[in-house]
Structure 1
């Protein structure tokens, strides 16, 4: 039975999506669970699988079209099933299925030539073959412009003339050819396109400054060890808990800019950057300032896994007020993270380095972690950013201060 495929709704706030790529074309067979198309929203890129098996009989929209949620995008039916009435229902003015199947595009000359080479045959006039043989030319390299890609004497002459005009190949170029060195263009994935657009938007929107500070993580390590039998928490879990509390004392770092107004908040929705094989997502822990450490730890793990499995919803990626990105596990000691719009600040977490420091007149080794805060200077002055980091240092080095 013929089925209409619709634009899915991935979250309560989603109203439309951009169909970026068709993974099947009209006439292709498709099974349940096979990838049919890809959808991109302002926060998410999703693969859409077929819920029904059959033949892709009609694609109702083009790649790049913006489609409202629940609107028809394709029809899947049996190979010989009549879908004309269904076509009339879903879209006016679409050519009947029979008409669209009659139109077969002409093969390109390059495709015909490729077929001929694979089959061991070359379409060329006898005179063209004789000329190529006399000039010691591989006729399969000549592009034919005659009927159905047939090679003419004019084609051979043009090939000879073009060869004369080619510059001599340098030793470096010869080496590159010998080793098959080559450039290759590959299209960006839907997720990479979203990331690219968002990064450009952020750099164009926010005049930023990055501030760095080293903080002793001895106390964080003690807390981790003390809790490991109850709840296995990470440094990120602990930092989220502490930063969520400190932000309430510095609302300018937790605000957003709207024209000539600042939107201030008395709550923290903490975004956590999650690296994926093909990009990056920032799930959001809503009202992180109210959550306990165990709940924060569980939320981070669950959202990160959803992001990696591509089962995360649009709603779980929206509403962030501040973001933390941790790349310390890669050995990075300092970087300038890019703000996740429309937020005004992002905190980069770097590796812990065992560092000699002077304490009470003696040299001791301390586990220091560098924090990199990027802030939007429209809302956050240097003094405010510095005070925030100084307070963060106090609470990380003496977390018992949070209870005061």
Structure 2
């Protein structure tokens, strides 16, 4: 059986992923690999992921280097394999030989030409990622052998040419080593920018309310406040299903489940793992789960299911950083987001004068297409009532 060289590509690890950052190799060129064996590690704005081989073979060419930003579907390595059936997924077969074009009518020829023209410059057709990489490496694209459709130069073609010609100079390597963290965070910032740009298109308002936490403080035990508010918000949304909703296709749609996205500050940016129906868990169990999720988020070890589960609301807590009150922008298509300010004693009026009470300022953001201010106010009233009750 003849070995064929197949490509190990940057995998698509979420529906919104368009590129990933290569972290490092677990194997070297010339090493044998077996199906299911980890060969390298990549990361996105959401999660670090080990990439496994899906066929047996030998690594022949390593294209990616640490901190390279690589579009989904572009090769990171090549494997020589004798497998009969190459599974779909991480490995794609080598480019098929270009068919000899048959004579076509003039309209068809124009259509083909227009499809290539947007990527063509100075007579050379190349995908945008390949053109950017060639500029970085100082490579003349006219010297690169194309392997893509219509003789288009792909990113892998530039990478291969650069390594063959030694174009990745010492200066470029030094430049890459100066700011590895900023490159690693690039995917995260791009994804956050995309989400927040979409949020700016949502007509939203925010309601602020100080809530009394004296009874909740006595009832919460050793459980953290983030767990308390996550639990209480989920219960409150069940009592106000009109706010446990999403705006989609021109109408509000309510949900039978409650998915709470928990905003977590990490070294590479904001992550939002989702807790499904957190009010169905005992408070102690929920607190333990939140602690585990936060630790794994900061270590880059969240599972895809935790990041891709549907969310109906978001909880963001900046109180621990000394922020008294703030507005959390909505993440479309969620209809609500709850911002938690600092929990601290505040002077409050009491019968006969002034007193001190443990308080927190909540900011509730609401999609105005889904609900009105009075709806949000009633939700916050329910939150206070639940805080005053038994926390289970």
* Interval containing the TM-score (normalised by the shorter chain): 0.5 to 0.7
Q: 1:106 to 1:214 in 2, by over 3 A?
A: closer
Unpaired stretches in structure 2, ≥5 consecutive residues: 98-146, 149-156, 172-180
In structure 1, C-alpha distance between the alignment counterparts of 2:364 and 2:95, rounded to whole Å? 52
Query: 1 CA distance for matches of 2:92 and 2:49?
Result: 28
Q: Count residues in correspondence.
A: 305
1:195 is aligned to 2:192: yes
Q: Are positions 1:340 and 2:331 aligned together?
A: yes
Which residue pairs with 2:207 in the alignment?
211
CA distance in 2, matches of 1:270, 1:102: 46
CA contact (8 A) 1:19 1:37 kept: no
Q: Is the 8 A contact 1:45 1:190 kept in 2?
A: no
Residue 289 of structure 2 is aligned with which of 288, 299, 305? Answer: 299
Q: Distance in 2 between matches of 1:258 and 1:387?
A: 24
Against the structure 1 CA distance between its residues 261 and 73, is the aligned structure 2 distance closer, same or farther, given a 3 Å change threshold? same
1:313 to 1:366, Cα distance in 2 relative to 1, 3 A: same
1:399 to 382, 389, 392: 389
Deviation at 1:286, TM superposition (A): 1.1
Q: Select the residue among 242, 256, 276 that pairs with 2:232.
A: 242
Q: Report SS of the residue matched to 2:370.
A: coil
Corresponding residue number in structure 1 for 2:18: 18
The equivalent residue for 2:8 is 5
Q: Does 1:350 align with 2:353?
A: no
- Structure 2 distance, partners of 1:312, 1:352, is 28
How far apart in 2 are the matches of 1:385 and 1:209? 10
1:89 is displaced (CA, Å) by 5.1
Q: 1:365 to 1:49 in 2, by over 3 A?
A: same
Matched-pair contact (CA < 8 Å) for 1:19–1:39: no
**Which 10-residue stretch deviates more, 28-37 or 193-202?**
28-37
Q: CA offset at residue 313 of structure 1?
A: 1.8
Whole-angstrom CA distance in 2 between matches of 1:366 and 1:30: 68
Give 1:88 shift: 11
Partner of 2:95: 91
Match of 1:180 in 2: none
Q: Is residue 328 from structure 1 mapped to residue 319 from structure 2 by the alignment?
A: yes
Partner of 2:109 in structure 1?
none
Q: 1:348 to 1:59 in 2, by over 3 A?
A: same
Distance 2:92 2:382 in 1: 66
Aligned residues of 1:44 and 1:194 also touching (Cα < 8 A): no
- Once the two structures are superposed, residues 229-250 of structure 1 have per-residue CA deviations (whole angstroms, 9 ceiling, x without a partner) of xxx3111111122111111121
Structure 1 regions of 5+ residues with no counterpart? 115-184
Q: Which residue of 2 aligns with 1:44?
A: 46
- Deviations along 1:290-309, one digit per CA (max 9) or x if unpaired, are 22212211221222222122
Report deviation, 1:17: 4.8
- Provide TM-score, normalisation by structure 2: 0.64
Q: Which has the higher strand share?
A: 2
Which SS does the other structure have where 1:334 is aligned? coil
Give me the whole-angstrom Cα distance separating, in 1, the residues matched to 2:76 and 2:211. Answer: 54
Q: TM-score scaled by structure 1? A: 0.63
Distance 1:347 1:53, change over 3 A: farther
CA contact (8 A) 1:17 1:39 kept: no
Superposed CA offset, 1:293-352 (max 9, x none):
122112212222221222212211221111111110011011111112220110000102
Q: For the aligned residues, what is the CA RMSD?
A: 4.3
